[in-house]
Amino acid sequence: MTKNTFLLITFPMLVCFLLLGSCTSKTASNVAAVGEIPETFTKLCASCHGNDLKGEISQSLLDGSWQFGSRKGDIMRSIKFGYPHHGMPAWGEVLTDAEIDSLASFLMYEEERLGIIKPPIPDTLETQDYMIKVDVIAEGLDVPWAIDFIGPNRALITERTGRLRIMENEVLLPDAVEGIPEVRALGQGGLLDVAIDPNYDREPWIYLAFSHGHGTVMEDGEERVPSMTSIVRAKLVGNNWSNQEVLFEAPHETYKTAGHHFGSRIVFDPEGYLYFSIGDRGTSEDAQDLSIPNGKIHRIYKDGRIPKTNPFYNTPGAVKSIYTYGNRNAQGLAVHPETGQVWETEHGPMGGDELNLISPGLNYGWPAICYCINYNGDIITEFTHKEGMEQPIAYWRPSIATCGLDFYTGDVFPKWKNRLLVGALRMEELQLLDIEKDRMMYRQTILKNAGRVRDVTTGPDGAIYVVLNEPGKVLRLSQLPAF
């Protein structure tokens, strides 16, 4: 299939430094004396951001909002590698890593010293099409990861640390569901996605994706627990997880001790197939190996059986559930409500987040091709194209850290029908993409700086529900009445 690839960029901005923020973990080490501006900042940054950090031709660095990530590592990467499309030069050839670390520490410390805090979540939003009302309907969650609705007034929310929570009538119940499987909560692993059977009235199954640990190994003198993404389903009886069935559990010899890149999302297509993703688990070359489950999109039946029509079902040595491969770390899956096509977003490292149309048997290229560099600035590959490898429908550079994904299917925002909602962790935003066939026509950001968007879904009432894993809240977006 021929695809058109679009580089997603925001409108150009004169930004000669990083773009703003707040941070929950700050340090005063290696910074200038209190109230003293470092010479490095005065020489390189003040002409754009002001001698007092309050803005000149570019934004203030002391207003509590960040565009490119609020964590110290994000700030350091912003300084080192820059964002040329946004007018931000790279200073990695001018400053040492120690100087960049010191500068980032200074900026973070100044925010803390001056008592600058992140702006509160707004009550209303203005978009190109609608005025939106924002309600916080759940808070105090411990790193929430996913949400799905059982009925019009009841939803399930996963907490990555290993709890499944119930929300009724927009009230979070205090007790977690009892009896869910034990998860290996380490790094990015834990209790991940939750999905409700599309025929729940007749088949009341609830599906979970989680990091499953097995055994122990010795690495670097430490005892570690290898783990891999697993899929189960069960029924909710009262507040109990009952009649569990294991649908997918990888061979234990393929488990990894790394604490990142688990995937995982679960979606169902109109034909009743279940799709789920497993990230490359930090071993990028595994994504090209059909004998290993990680770095892939998988397809099974809802009861765990593997369709004989899967593209590699008859390939010797291949994992039979594999549907596509070369997928780095897909944390967004969605099915188009009209075409039934499966769409995916996956994380790149520095740049190269991708939007892909998932088709059976195709190779999406990771790590042989990409639009990115590694986090430390090293080149991953010189190639963006290779024969036999798919191009993304669109990609983001810089990375926004794509996550939850959903086609809007409600009636509250009729102009947005069948448009794609894309959550972003690092950029703390929710984007709306207009998809026509296999092309991305345009996009707009409809929520910014409320927190790290882990999941997004259309509720039974037609509102948009947004899961923020930091600061542990669920938002409800509805249309404000016109006056």
261 is catalytic: yes
Q: What is the dihedral of CA 49, 470, 423, 361, to 10 degrees?
A: 120
Q: Which of 49, 212, 261, 298 is catalytic?
A: 261
Q: Would you state the structure tokens that stand for residue 138, as one six-digit string?
A: 């759940």
- Do residues 100 and 76 make contact, with C-beta atoms less than 8 angstroms apart? yes
Tell me how far apart the alpha carbons of residues 193 and 423 are, in angstroms, rounded to a whole number.
15
Tell me how far apart the alpha carbons of residues 291 and 308 are, in angstroms, rounded to a whole number.
17
Q: Tell me if residue 26 falls in helix, strand or coil.
A: coil
Contacts of 234 (CB under 8 A, 6+ apart): 180, 205, 206, 208, 241, 242, 243, 244, 245
Beta strands in 123-162 (DSSP E): 124-126, 131-138, 144-151, 154-159
Alpha helices (H) along 28-186: 39-44, 46-49, 72-81, 97-113
- Cα→Cα distances 185→211, 228, 255, 451, 458, Å: 7, 11, 15, 22, 28
Phi, psi of 378 (to 5 degrees): -70, 150
**Residues identified as active-site:** 261
